[in-house]
């Protein structure tokens, strides 16, 4: 592959694998009988656990392949890139190993764990902009002024080939694969994997998963070219890309069979499921891929591999994600009701809830600002339950005692 190549082949991906395999981890391909039972699948489902990769993400594959392609002159001048975190760590880690000076421009909202991890590999981090696109534009300005080599996060043939080595590992272990499901932001991952899978077996289906708060692929398909979104809002910051690449778009439009959009609430449920059932710690992108299958189990029409793309999740965000996931699954329930402002009333309600074996997390009274009479109060409860069915049993028990509640 030449430095100016605008296409990628399975042979390019196999060459990339030969170059990088000694410096990247061959991540496990784990069958999940738990997940198969959860969605009632008739076919085996595997997780490709790239969250266990060096630097915690698949991005180090493409970064290394690109860095190894540079001329000695380019290596001496140094490199620069823009990234929401995972590509940044891949570039920083391998640049340090190869003795290349690296600068990384990251969006202001990048999780602290990704900033710290990037700095620990010796790269200079510059925080700029509200999104990847703004960080990218700033990085290009620095590249022009300093003469550094720009390492694009996804729209580069060497990057695409490097990410495609995931597909080679999967295919080597699981030739019966019929479906590959992965998150998509800029498109480099699915462009590389799609290229490899389709050349090996054209019947393999490719499913892209995007956040509904940052879906760049479907509008691009409609327009026939990459479009730039005006807003980006998702907890899965790794796929919070307002515009996919020109090269990645052209490749992905050929190979992707279906695109599934998931909400932050659905992503949180996916993360929570992996934590509880597989003991796997992944970031929003991995949770989104699992959420897509939880949302549409009918996707599974044959042996399937779901990519858990990264594990760089900010622990400060983790608690909020878990609570959001519990609420979405009905295991944290909030309701209100109006009750007489009289001694013993609250005690009776709490007793009924206790009889239904629900745990009370929080209780509040509103006498002043609620829409009640002077002899009433508005009471709000947060409960920990077993799920939606349990919530309905609590509601029925309270109704039997004469209390009409409203879930919030």
The residues annotated as belonging to the active site are: 59, 309
Element (H, E) at 193: helix 188-200
Instruction: Give the Cα separation of 165 and 57 in Å (integer).
Output: 13
The answer to whether the beta carbons of residues 255 and 195 sit under 8 Å apart is yes
Instruction: Give the Cα separation of 58 and 52 in Å (integer).
Output: 9
The answer to whether the beta carbons of residues 280 and 34 sit under 8 Å apart is no
With CA atoms as reference, report the closest residue to 184 among 109, 262, 127. 262
The burial class, CB within 10 Å (0-12 / 13-18 / 19+), for 224 is exposed
With CA atoms as reference, report the closest residue to 229 among 287, 185, 288. 185
With CA atoms as reference, report the closest residue to 61 among 89, 35, 84, 31. 89
């Amino acid at each position: 592959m030449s430095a100016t190549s605008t296409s990628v082949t399975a042979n390019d991906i196999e060459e990339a694998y030969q170059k990088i395999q000694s410096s990247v981890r061959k991540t496990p391909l784990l069958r999940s009988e738990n997940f198969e039972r959860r969605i009632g699948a008739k076919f085996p489902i595997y997780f490709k656990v790239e969250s266990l990769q060096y630097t915690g993400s698949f991005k180090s594959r493409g970064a290394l392949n690109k860095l190894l392609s540079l001329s000695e002159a380019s290596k001496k001048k140094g490199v620069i890139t823009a990234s929401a975190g995972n590509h940044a760590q891949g570039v920083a880690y391998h640049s340090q190993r190869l003795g290349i000076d690296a600068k990384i421009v990251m969006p202001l909202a990048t999780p602290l764990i990704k900033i710290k991890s990037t700095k620990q590999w010796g790269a200079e981090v510059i925080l700029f902009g509200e999104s990847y696109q703004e960080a990218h534009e700033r990085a290009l300005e620095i590249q022009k002024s300093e003469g550094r080599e720009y390492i694009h996060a996804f729209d580069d043939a060497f990057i695409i080939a490097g990410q495609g080595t995931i597909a080679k590992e999967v295919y080597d272990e699981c030739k019966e694969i019929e479906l590959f499901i992965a998150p998509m932001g800029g498109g480099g991952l699915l462009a590389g994997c799609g290229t490899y899978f389709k050349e090996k077996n054209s019947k393999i289906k490719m499913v892209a998963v995007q956040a509904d708060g940052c879906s760049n692929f479907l509008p691009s398909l409609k327009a026939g070219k990459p479009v730039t979104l005006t807003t980006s809002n998702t907890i899965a910051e790794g796929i919070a890309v307002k515009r996919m690449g020109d090269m990645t778009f052209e490749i992905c439009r050929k190979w992707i069979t279906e695109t599934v959009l998931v909400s932050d609430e659905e992503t949180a449920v996916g993360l929570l499921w992996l934590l509880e059932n597989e003991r796997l710690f992944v970031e929003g992108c991995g949770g989104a891929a699992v959420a897509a299958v939880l949302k549409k189990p009918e996707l599974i029409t044959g042996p399937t591999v779901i990519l858990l793309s990264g594990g760089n999740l900010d622990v400060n965000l983790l608690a909020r994600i878990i609570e959001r996931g519990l609420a979405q699954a009905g295991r944290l329930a909030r309701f209100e009701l109006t009750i007489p402002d009289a001694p013993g009333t609250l005690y009776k309600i709490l007793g009924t809830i206790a009889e239904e074996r629900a745990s009370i997390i929080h209780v509040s009274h509103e006498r002043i600002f609620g829409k009640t009479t002077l002899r009433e109060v508005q009471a709000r409860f947060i409960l920990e339950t077993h799920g939606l069915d349990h919530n309905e049993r609590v509601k029925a028990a309270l109704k039997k005692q004469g209390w009409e509640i409203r879930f919030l």
